[in-house]
A and B are shown apart, each in its own frame.
Chain A
Amino acid sequence: MNLLLIGAAVFFTGGVLELLIRQKRTGVVFAVSAALAQLLILPPVFAVLINGYSLAFVVDFSFPIGMAYLRLDPLAAFFVFIISIGGLLAAVYSLGYMKMYSESRYSLPVYYFFIALLVTAMLLVVTVQNALLFMIVWEIMSLASFFLVSFEHHKEEVRKAGLYYLIAMQAGAALLLTAFAWAATLAGSLDFAALGRVLGTPGAVSTCLFLFFFFGFGFKAGLLPVHTWLPLAHPAAPTGVSAIMSGVMIKTGIYGILRILLLGGVPNVFLAYFVFGVSLVTGIFGVMNAIVQHDLKKLLAYHSIENIGIIGIGIGLGMLGMVYRQEGLALCGLLGGLLHVFNHFTFKSLLFYGAGVVYTKTHTREIDKLGGLIHYLPVTATLFLVGSLAISGLPLFSGFISEFAIYTGLVRGLAAGSAILRIAIGCGLAGLAFIGVMAVLCFTKVFSVCFLGSPRAPRPERLSEGSAALLIPMAALSVFIILIGLYPLLALPFLKNTVTQFIPGSTAAAWDNLMALFGRLSLATAALGGLIVFFLSLRQLLLRGRPVQIFKTWDCGYQVESSRMSYTASSFAAPFLQLIAPFVPGHLKVRPPQGLFPREASYESHHDDFVAYYLIDPLNGLVRRFLGLFTWMQSGRTQQYILYGLAFLVMLIAWIIVMPK
């Protein structure tokens, strides 16, 4: 535990040093300290994951926090691993990526400081066991990420996105604060263990508390309907930040939900169905909106929402299993959900980093302006393809393994339980399949429109492959993706203690049974790999010594080649868009060609977020109208404000005097 705290301190010191030292190459100090921190953090993490014990550290703060425990249990260790590795990769990537800001008016040392602060705060968020301390580090995490999102603060849309993010986080924190305060009052202590006793008492109170926590943490995770900050904040932030926010930070929301679940169990059946249902809708909604996006990073942000949905489906299944006392079901759901947390960290960070390389080279995030990049950025393209295949959940890659675990849970749930459970499971099966196939549609679109074909917009200069600092983090992540995809038993044993602590009673047999299943699955995937190698070599063999001519693409006899005619992302998604049109309100701005000799014409399409458009924005409007009633109080004159303060004090004193003891 001490090692972990020293590691966190090393991370933080790296960031502070960046501020203090004027160096030629900003970021090197932080990268080195991040690497050093791994040496300190990873040994206790692995010890806890493998042995299943927990390490504790007590700090005796005086009032109001009191005795505060920092504890590294298997659940915390799992998230610490992701945060720590994610922090290191972001540090390395930023070395290459942030170069483009070195001549700008934005301050790089400040950037590194806030990254360090964010990582340190996240490390504490998952270990702190005291409600008040938790809220403090939680807020530090939110604020650090707010400053990172608003890094390019001279741009108006970045400032807007940053503020939107800040307000969303404060709304979520308000829910959490309410829930913590309520629970702590009932428990008479701020310690998590005491809160657990309140949460574990069945009844209306614990149900309400669970819902408060669920949506409070849901703000951070990006669950429907409180996801609306993600598609704004991710495109605004520098890519290293988007990757760490999407890959790591939103998972602290998932951590929160799991922690509450671990402390109090599932209060009642309704909540299990509720979590399952909300997650299913989140998943479908996320990928549907991803399909219609034109902005690469906004699209990836919506995919984060989708994957949070998949993780939530796993957790919901786990809760159903816990309620109905079906160990196999609970095990599959939680294992799938947790593994998907890690998998999503790997492939989403990889994809964001890939998008960042594309941005540094082409200076655009607009998918429809890209194309043919695979010929200039072969390594980036290949790694991005690995990420795309993984996020689509296709076999041989890690995404399939976690989705397979969730599917297995669903299929097991069919055998057990009531008609209601069966109907829920049916929706889950169809819904998860729908999410999966839409992800395939979306990533065939993204990958092929960005990297394949020919450029859709004129490109002035020849492009060159990204630097090593950009590519190494991507390559490292793809190693995780491929290893887990080919041989899941490498990773699953590390999750055993994390998953089984949720399930009371003996789970050894159910666990071994599940591992045997994954053993057979990896055997089968090996057969698939073998077949692929066989047919690739067969092709080589057949074509040896035969003429292979390079010619142009078949164009139906039409002789004018123009890459402007090639299919764009919008046209690729168009037929599917027709099917889901009611759920993605679209706006068209068309200026048709006019007159006999038309000069110019334009066509603009834009799609809104259904929930933001119909729910969040109108609500915001209401709040704004209500608060507008009080604008007369804000005059801008200091004297008046002092008067307010005086009036408040007078009223307070009067109240104390008048009110009887």
Chain B
Amino acid sequence: MMTLLPILLILIAPILFIGVINRVKALWAGRRGAPLLQAAYEIGKLLRKGEVISKTTSFVFRLSPALQIAAVIFAALLTPLPGRPAVLSFPGDFILFTYALGLAKFVMVAAAMDTGSSFEGMGASREMTFSTIVEPAFFLLLGSLALITGQTSFTDIFAFLNYSAGYSVLVKSLCTISLFIMLLVEGCRVPVDDPNTHLELTMIHEVMVLDYSGPDLAFIQYAAGLKMVLIATLLANVLIPGSAGTAGGLLLYGIALAITATGVGLVESIMARVRMTHVTQFIFLMSALAITTFSVVVFFLSGGF
């Protein structure tokens, strides 16, 4: 039971994570807001419904949501919690983590294109364009962490990650900001995408799932929430040192997730989304930070040349 606790925690986290974001936004706008568990009610309702499917679509459209949720949950199995190992862990598991999320993205984009709608095409094309910038930066970040710790699996990297060296504060803050930007991009939040927009032309993630309904939509919404939580979990792993211990680690993990969700909610409340053509510039910030992180680590590890 205790070994399954972390994965159960990750699996219920998306509901609360979305709840906190929405509550923060509501409070900031002076509203009371929906219940914290609203996402669970919505998913539960969707799971009990039938479906409407477009006549243009093929089996790709029907298989895609199940593949997406399976791939993202699989990625969750590879994610460690602070102070606790991941369910599956082996050297280079972070490569599988990224590529499993890539599989989810492939089938999501293919399903969006399957409907033949130009709006969904727009969303698909934007989503893929943004990923091309995020992924190399993410690998550089993980490379930096692997370099500092000398470890090659998620669990070991974060277990050995300590910030005793002088330059590590720099690395820690650079990683934190980069991962937070990644969370905003991959989670499709402001300033990259606005989950509340009502105009198909300006959507990214929402427009790709326009034609879904019923259980399929429930799968997709849950997978999207879980993906955010996974990146937030990595963020928590960077913030919480391995010395926190197992019990303390879990407590701190909860707090870190809550703070991250609050951060996302605050960003969403005080910022407008940037113009579509400028989104890439925002994401390039993450590339720049990742390159800096890697350079800093190489520089200091080599004794400053």
Residues of A whose CB lies within 8 Å of any CB of B are 371-372, 374-375, 378, 381, 385, 389, 392-396, 400, 404, 407-408, 410-412, 414-415, 418-419, 422-423, 425-426, 429-434, 436-438, 440-441, 443-444, 447-449, 451-454, 517, 520-521, 523-525, 527-528, 531-532, 534-536, 538-539, 542-543, 546-556, 563, 565-567, 571-576, 578-579
Contacts and interface: CB of A to CB of B under 8 A. Distances in A.
A444 B109 contact: yes
30 contacts: A374-B59, A394-B106, A400-B99, A408-B92, A408-B95, A422-B301, A426-B294, A429-B136, A429-B142, A432-B139, A437-B131, A440-B106, A444-B106, A451-B58, A452-B57, A452-B113, A454-B116, A523-B88, A524-B90, A528-B70, A534-B70, A535-B219, A536-B66, A543-B50, A553-B55, A554-B210, A554-B211, A567-B118, A572-B125, A579-B129
A98 B115 CA distance: 34
A371 B52 CA distance: 22
Is the contact region of chain B dominated by helix, strand, or loop, or is it mixed?
A: helix
B60 A452 contact: yes
Max chain A C-beta neighbours (<10 A), residue from B63, B78, B122, B132? B132
A149 B290 CA distance: 45
B125 A437 contact: no
A535 B215 CA distance: 11
A555 to B, nearest CB: 7
Interface in B175-207: 200
Contacts of A407: 92, 95
B152 interface: yes
Contacts, number: 267
B121 to A, nearest CB: 3
B92 A395 contact: no
Contacts of B114: 448, 452-453
Given A411-B91, A452-B113, A531-B74, 18 more contacts: A372-B116, A415-B147, A419-B305, A430-B137, A430-B139, A440-B105, A452-B57, A525-B96, A528-B74, A528-B100, A531-B70, A536-B63, A538-B66, A539-B219, A542-B47, A546-B214, A552-B54, A553-B54
Max chain A C-beta neighbours (<10 A), residue from B50, B54, B91, B99? B99
Given A423-B298, A437-B132, A528-B71, A517 B106 contact: no
B36 interface: no
Contacts of B116: 371-372, 452-454, 553, 563, 566
B126 interface: yes
A571 B137 CA distance: 26
Nearest to A576: B129
Contacts of B43: none
A453 B53 contact: no
Given A539-B215, A543-B51, A547-B50, A521 B56 contact: no
Contacts of B135: 433-434, 436-437
B74 A575 contact: no
Interface of B: 47, 49-60, 63, 65-67, 69-71, 73-74, 77-78, 88, 90-93, 95-96, 98-100, 102-103, 105-106, 109-110, 113-122, 124-126, 128-129, 131-133, 135-140, 142-143, 146-147, 150, 152, 200, 210-211, 214-216, 219, 277, 280, 290, 294, 298-299, 301-302, 305
